[in-house]
Amino acid sequence: MRSKFVRTLLAIVATLSLTIPAVGSANAIQETPSALAMTGDALIARPALLAMTVVGSVVYLVSLPFSALGGNAGEAADVLVVGPAKATFVRCLGCSMSGRKLEKVTEQEES
């Protein structure tokens, strides 16, 4: 029973990792996500992205000797580790693009 659950969970994670769009640039985000988007992001997308970050880190470490010999270790790190990590930890909850949400700063006049 547990084996079937683990296989199903791995299939879901694999499916989500293939359907999540590529990470964009880290510009300021001007989105207003709904409560449903935030809930789905917190319960489904973030755990899947965290799993992708861990798996990408393992794949990067295994492939590091080959990518170092090929001269693209930095590019491999960006794609396999940094991209998923930014999507996991630097994206506002419910937003579809990576980056920090733009905060409105208002200046108060001093009297």
pLDDT score, position 106: 61
- Is the distance from CB of 40 to CB of 103 less than 8 angstroms? no
Say which residue the tokens 């905060």 belong to.
Answer: 103
Question: What are the tens digits of pLDDT across the range 53-82?
Answer: 999 999 999 999 999 999 999 999 999 999
- pLDDT class of 110 with cuts at 50, 70, 90: low
Q: Looking at this protein, which amino acid is placed at residue 70?
A: G
Mean of pLDDT values over 12-20: 62
CB atoms inside a 10 Å sphere around CB 26:
13
Q: Which residues contact 21 (CB under 8 A, 6 or more apart)?
A: 96
DSSP class of 99: B
- What percentage of the chain exceeds 90 in pLDDT? 41
Query: Which has the minimum average pLDDT: 22-26, 83-87, 104-108?
Result: 22-26
What pLDDT score was predicted for residue 101?
A: 64
* Averaged pLDDT, 2-29: 62
Summarize the confidence of residues 103-107 as an average pLDDT: 60
Q: What is the pLDDT of residue 77?
A: 92
Q: Which two tokens stand for residue 77?
A: 């790190």
Handedness of CA 73, 78, 81, 82 (dihedral sign): positive
Give the CA radius of gyration of the chain: 18
CA distances from 13 to 9, 50, 53 (A): 6, 10, 12
